[in-house]
Amino acid sequence: MNPVRKVCVFCASSPKINSVYFRDAEILGKLFLEHNIHVSYGGGSQGLMGTLADTMIAGGGKITGIIPGFMKKMNWAHPAVTDMIEVETMHQRKNLMIKGVDAVIALPGGVGTLEELTELITLKQLGQFLAPIVMLNTNDFYRPLEDFFHKMTEEKFMRPVHKDIWLMVEKPEDVIPAIKNAPPWNGDAIKYAAVED
């Protein structure tokens, strides 16, 4: 069973999305508090980022924000997150967000969230990142993406074993159990990266 002490969360910054997404972000934050899990996130104050941070702060939990300086200049950083790390680039931000985490969780989000998620899937495919990756499929948000991944496998752009890289769950209460019971993945995974007969 995998330990869950610290997680990275990728999620939306838009404040205009359906309330069901905010609900699940808040529930997930409360579950992190209940299990004393340290959260690393993108440092924002709006959208699901803001809801997650607000929930963690209200419950006295530990949350670390990581944000590039150009975003901080736009006043996008959450003012109440005391553990806020400023970096220069988006690449540095992502590297710090995932450093030392036991899992990565992707809540619904836009192209930024998609880019973060797919880079981590790529790194795991190459054996450079080994922790569980969980997509929270609120409102069936990630179903088209999973179908696309399955299409890649069917068309032999990926191997069937690569389906073990990520997990998808339907509700926040399933996230932590999914992490704890995720199939193992190790640094030898690069041997599966090339699709051969």
Please report, in tens digits, the pLDDT of each residue of the chain (197 residues total).
899 999 999 999 999 999 999 999 999 999 999 999 999 999 999 999 999 999 999 999 999 999 999 999 999 999 999 999 999 999 999 999 999 999 999 999 999 999 999 999 999 999 999 999 999 999 999 999 999 999 999 999 988 988 999 999 999 999 999 999 999 988 776 676 665 54
**What pTM was computed for the model?**
0.94
pLDDT at 103: 98
- Please give the C-alpha separations between residue 11 and each of 48, 150, 187, in angstroms, as whole numbers: 6, 23, 27
Task: Enumerate the H helices of 35-137 as residue ranges.
Answer: 47-58, 69-73, 90-98, 111-125
Q: For residue 1, is it within any domain?
A: no
85: containing domain: 6-191
Q: Say which amino acid occupies 57.
A: I
Q: For residue 12, is it within any domain?
A: yes
* End-to-end alpha carbon distance in the chain: 33
pLDDT at 195: 54
Write out the two tokens for 144: 């088209």
pLDDT at 136: 98
Please give the Cα distance from 88 to 66 (Å, whole number).
10
Q: CB within 8 A of 10, min separation 6: which ones?
A: 41, 42, 97, 104, 105, 106, 107, 109, 113, 116, 117
Report the Cα 38 to chain-centroid distance in Å: 13
Q: For residue 63, is it within any domain?
A: yes
Q: For residue 172, is it within any domain?
A: yes
pLDDT at 196: 58
Q: For residue 196, is it within any domain?
A: no
Q: For residue 66, is it within any domain?
A: yes
> Domain containing 31 — which CATH number?
3.40.50.450
Task: Count how many domains the chain has.
Answer: 1
- Please give the C-alpha separations between residue 123 and each of 92, 102, 116, 130, 188, in angstroms, as whole numbers: 15, 15, 11, 8, 12
Q: For residue 197, is it within any domain?
A: no
Tokens 């997990």: give the residue. Answer: 167
